[in-house]
Amino acid sequence: QPYASIGRRIYESKDPFFGDTRRDTRTSLRISLNKDSLRVFGYVPELEFRYDETRSNLDYYSYDKVVFLLNFNE
């Protein structure tokens, strides 16, 4: 199940530390894999890979994040 999103956020007031209005762009990509026929104690295991990126006009708030998850769904 692939998933992707892109969002933009503009804050209302100036950042108290950097003196400029913060503007962020966030990108999120996610892929999850599962197989319904495989069950562990009645639950379906699911592997999920997620990549999140936030780019801000204030470099302090910019980051990349990679997440690997193992979920068990009913």
Q: Which residue has the tokens 């495989």?
A: 38
pTM flag (> 0.75) = no
Tens digit of pLDDT at every position of the chain (74 positions): 788 999 999 999 999 999 999 999 999 999 999 887 888 888 999 999 999 999 999 999 999 999 999 999 88
Which stretches does DSSP call E strand in the chain?
Answer: 2-14, 21-34, 44-56, 63-73
